[in-house]
A and B are shown apart, each in its own frame.
Chain A
Amino acid sequence: MNKIQQLFERKNKNILSVYFTAGYPELESTNEILTALADNGVDMIEIGMPYSDPLADGPVIQHSSSVAIANGMTIAKLFEQLGKLKLSREVPLLLMGYLNPVIQYGFENFCRDASAVGISGLIIPDLPLREYRLEYEVITKKYGLSFVFLITPETSEERIREIDNLSDGFIYAVSSSSVTGRATDESRKEDYFKRIGAMNLKNPVVVGFGVKDKATFEHACKYLNGAISGTAFINQLTGNEKSIEENTKTFLNMFR
């Protein structure tokens, strides 16, 4: 069992996961942010690998990605940083990014090195399900990594079942058809959460996109297993003089 699976064994309600972009605001911020998030009690962390053309992301994550690339962040650099990371407690870490940089690194090399630095799961939204099944599943399994798929309100029930069968960590429910950081329609969101919750999937479902405070977090957790917040955290890290530790505390207090 990897750390994601262990987490959901222990706790399967109110999971709070936080996303941030590696190399933002500074190249060396990565481990400082991870430490602050772990010390302040988050359940799971998604580390964004910056990409020049992040087409599923809104302006905030795009901007953090451009800054991170300009700072010199690469996959190799990220692995080097993660190799030195020591967290105070066990928190599952996932890498999230786009397929192109990953295949340039080499998919198997990527999985091997990610696993070696303590990564438990991958989220690569533009890796097609069919190719995952044909080519990549065997590799992620070999290195004990959970591959996490996205679903949206437009994803058919049949496809959700297929994704559920392929998944061994959790499913990432995008809370509206929208890029990250965009406002969403509340009543439609509720229907969607209810519908997914009622499907009795074998994997836990975590809500992403549009989660920014206690109310949106609790709303997601009412029907599903937890939520991921990214844009709101990056906003918190931006444009003030406070330390990463202080900003992380301020941010997490909004959920409590």
Chain B
Amino acid sequence: MTNHPDQYGFYGKFGGAYIPEMLHANVEFLQKHYQEIIDSPEFQKEFEYLLKDYAGRETPLYYAERLSKKYGASVYLKREDLCHTGAHKVNNTIGQILLAERLGKKRIIAETGAGQHGVATATVCALKGLECIVYMGETDMQRQALNVARMEMLGAKVVPAMSGSKTLKDATNEAIRDWINHPEDTYYQIGSVVGPHPYPDMVAQFQSVISKEIRAQLKEKTGTELPDYVIACVGGGSNAAGAFYHFLEDEQVKLVAVEAAGNGIESGESAATTQLGRIGILHGCKSLVMQTEDGQVVEPYSISAGLDYPGIGPLHAHLFDTGRGTFLNATDKEALDAAFELAQLEGIIPALESAHALAVLKKLDLKKSDRVVVNLSGRGDKDMATYLKYLPNQNG
């Protein structure tokens, strides 16, 4: 399959722009101009410069020797955790802030769940001297107080989303409402490959630097650009979209997306959208959505605040639907085990989100000759409070 949606933003039957008229002019303008702006040499020059000198790219593709030995295959970690701000999120926010700047927008809004996208947005707004307002569910603000403090130190205003379940889904609704109320001066910086067209495609393009680098690095290390597996966790799916992007047309590369099973798929406390959802509309795009029988969106659960989203990007829904992607999942417990394993085998503390990707290594039928790339999307500093609770069990 190709990596671009059609002109209306559809990947197969998923995507599109299901937005009220109040957003039409803004979204249509973006649809018509995003590609020419992104493709301009001047944009590309600044984007590449900031990715390199500001965000710290390229990130290493690290051959994890002890992990490889344990799983009987060659395991490489794509070290997005080493990006500035601690996760892949900054690739997208750099791209979008350059776009917002070229559109003449002065006020930047964003939604955030765990706070990683909020921090990455606040960071680039500080860099560019733009006003930054981040919507965050009130519940998440309490759970992720440190990231709230980081955003505030960076000069952003963090606004609690008080509606619904007061988490990411509601923060996204609030950000969209803000955009409706400020159509002229405001740019909405979405943090994942979700939302109305062109956001899923735009965010995927900004994150695609991940797979572009993997190809080049793998070629240098092994003589071939193509791995056998690329594994990435999926909430909305931005790091997975970036890690899969340049492999979508290479059918021999198995693309493994890992969803958060929470306490188990059947437990009623899960965020595994492809297992529990069905086709629907959420936040402006048609995709798979976790919902009740009569179409009310349900609140997902995962120990990882970055994966508890009741939808999935339309690109991923299409990968699932066509079978191009393999969708696995990992429970809270499996992710925690994988996090401790990586910490103690390789000296790397992963984000809880990325730990879900690591957790499926044991579920794949790997051969000695297999080259496996795991996208280590973020580092675990933000999750220390959670890890601390499990520390006695793990070391005892």
Contact = CB atoms under 8 A, between A and B. Distances in A.
A202 interface: no
Contact of A75 (B177, B294, B298): B294
Interface residues of B, number: 33
Nearest to A163: B21
Contacts of A62: 163-164
Nearest to B289: A100
Interface stretch (A146-154, A211-219, A235-243): A146-154
Contact of A126 (B177, B181, B281, B295): B281
A104 interface: yes
A179 B296 contact: no
B18 interface: yes
A99 B18 contact: yes
A66 B164 contact: yes
Interface stretch (A32-40, A114-122, A127-135, A189-197): A127-135
B22 A52 contact: no
Interface string B17-50: 1111110111000000000000000000000000
Contact of A55 (B177, B280, B294): B177
B17 A128 contact: yes
Contact of A128 (B18, B26, B289): B18
Interface in A144-178: 149-152, 154-156, 159, 174, 177-178
A76 interface: yes
B294 A177 contact: no
A179 B24 contact: no
A52 B294 contact: no
A150 B22 contact: yes
Interface string A53-72: 11110110011001001000
Interface string B274-294: 000000111110000101011
A251 interface: no
A162 to B, nearest CB: 12
Contacts of B356: none
Interface string B77-110: 0000000000000000000000000000000000
B8 interface: yes
B181 A53 contact: no
Contact of A127 (B18, B180, B295): B18
Interface in A96-113: 98-105
Contact of B20 (A66, A103, A125): A125
A24 interface: no
B57 interface: no
B190 to A, nearest CB: 13
Contact of A104 (B25, B282, B293): B293
24 contacts: A53-B173, A53-B283, A53-B297, A55-B176, A55-B177, A74-B294, A98-B281, A100-B282, A100-B297, A101-B296, A104-B280, A104-B295, A105-B295, A125-B21, A126-B19, A126-B284, A127-B18, A128-B17, A154-B22, A155-B21, A156-B25, A177-B22, A177-B180, A179-B177
Interface of B: 8, 16-22, 24-26, 163-164, 169, 173, 176-177, 180-181, 183, 280-284, 289, 291, 293-298
